[in-house]
Each structure stands twice: as C-alpha cells, then as structure tokens.
Amino acid sequence: MTSEAEETARLRRAFAATTPSDAPRPDCPPSSRLWEGVHGELPSAELRLLLAHLAECPVCTEAWRLAEELGEAGGRRRSRRWLWVGAAAAAVVVLAVGIAQVRWQGPPTSPGERAAQERVIASLVKGALPRGDCLLRWTGPRGARYDVVVTTGELEVVSRAAGLEKPAFRVPAADLAQVAPGARLLFRVTAELPSDGLAVSETFSFQLRDDHGDG
C-alpha cells in the first residue's frame, strides 16, 4: 500500500471510530433517512443536510456505514436464493407513509416554524395520472426551488428532478416505461425556501393510468 493510500485508510478509520461515550444527539435524523441517503433516495437538498450532520456526528456515521454494508450485502447476494416471497405493496406503502411522517429538518426549529413548514407543501394531484402526461403538481411558497423524488411502492426510485422553479414536475414517459400499468407511485417534495430553510412534504401517492393512445 502506498503511503498516500495508508494515510487515506488511517483518515477513514479515524473518521469512522466511535467511543462508548458517543451518544445520539437530539438533531440526529431518523434511521430511515440514513438508509435513504445511502441508497440515493434523498433529494439533493436533504442529502446536503444529512452530510453536514454526518461530518459532525460519529453515531450517525456508524449508522450510515451499517446501511451501506447491509445494502451491499443484499446486492452481493442477489443471485443467491433468499426465499423472499413476492412484493408486499400494501405493507410497503404503510412503511413509506410512516417514514414520511418523520420529517427531518436538520437542526431543530421552533414548534411554530416546524408546523408552518409541514403545512407549506400539499399535493394537487387528484386521482390517477396518465402515463403519457404524468404531471405532478403541488402548492409551495413563492420563490422556493423544489426537488422531487418519485418512487415505487417498494421505494425504488423511478424518477427525480432537482432545482425546479415551479411547483410541478412532468415525469418523463421513459422513466415510467418499466412501471406496471395501474401501479401506485409515491412522490415527495423538498422545497428550498428563499429564507435558506427547507420544507419537506409528506409522501403523496397517485395511481398510474394507461389510456388508449398514451403510446
């Protein structure tokens, strides 16, 4: 190993080290958010907040590495028969909505501010959306920029967009090509507010409709 590689290894080891006296902090994100970060399911603004926290917090560093290792383990073993039984959309949606209820906003804000942030984004999607014109719309504060992530019920990312200046996103038909007709999809919006704050929406759901002529 070269001296530079050795030094990198030492830096990584030092960064990863924890002691018994390292305790979780009040502003630690939920464990589910760390999993989402590792697996590329967070909008960029949320990932930025999460990394800022990880730079400071050894307990969450450990949790991040556990998520990476457990995820990798699954990937490595994908070819091996695990006897997992098919998809469980209902249970997964319950979890997805549950995860979304825990909204991590980074450093704690006052209760009034937090409540205001939670009210700020509401879905304007009603009923099913056609595959050929899958337009997601939501309400948001003036001047905000938005990141949006669209996932399946099993939380696999279907499409994402960042830095949107309007509270709308048309999901490209190509991104929906592998999604089954009639599938229920989820989306979550993060608004970067003009005041430099963040607001994270609940997880909204909608059904994908295949109309004649949608192509």
Partner 1 sequence: MLLTEPRSSSPIRSQWAAELREELTRVICAICPPWLSADREDLVQTTVLAVSRHLDDGEGVDLPSSSYLRRVAHNALVDEIRRRRRRREVPLQTTAMADLAADRAPGPEAVHRGGEIRRGIRECLQRLVRSRRMAVTLYLLGHSVPRASELLGWGRKRTENLVFRGLSDLRSCLESMDLRP
Residues interacting with partner 1, by CB under 8 A? Answer: 7-8, 10-24, 28, 30-32, 34-35, 37-38, 40, 44, 47-48, 51-52, 54-56, 58-59, 61-71, 73-74, 78, 82-88, 90-92, 94-95, 154-156, 162
CB of 47 or CB of 183, closer to partner 1: 47
Q: Is 78 exposed, middle or buried (0-12, 13-18, 19+ CB in 10 A)?
A: exposed
CB of 113 or CB of 156, closer to partner 1: 156
Least distance to partner 1, CB of residue 213, Å: 33
Least distance to partner 1, CB of residue 69, Å: 5
Contact 140, 121 (CB under 8 A): yes
CB of 105 or CB of 151, closer to partner 1: 151
Quote the tokens at residue 36.
Answer: 């989402």
Least distance to partner 1, CB of residue 209, Å: 25
Q: What are phi and psi of 22, to 5 degrees?
A: -70, 120
The C-alpha angle with vertex 87 and arms to 82 and 91, in degrees rounded to 5, equals 115
Least distance to partner 1, CB of residue 161, Å: 11
Q: Which amino acid is at 206?
A: F
Show Cβ contacts of residue 121 under 8 Å, excluding neighbours closer than 6 positions.
Answer: 138, 139, 140, 167, 189, 191, 199, 200, 201, 202
CB of 131 or CB of 188, closer to partner 1: 188
CB of 1 or CB of 83, closer to partner 1: 83
Contact 136, 125 (CB under 8 A): yes
Least distance to partner 1, CB of residue 115, Å: 25
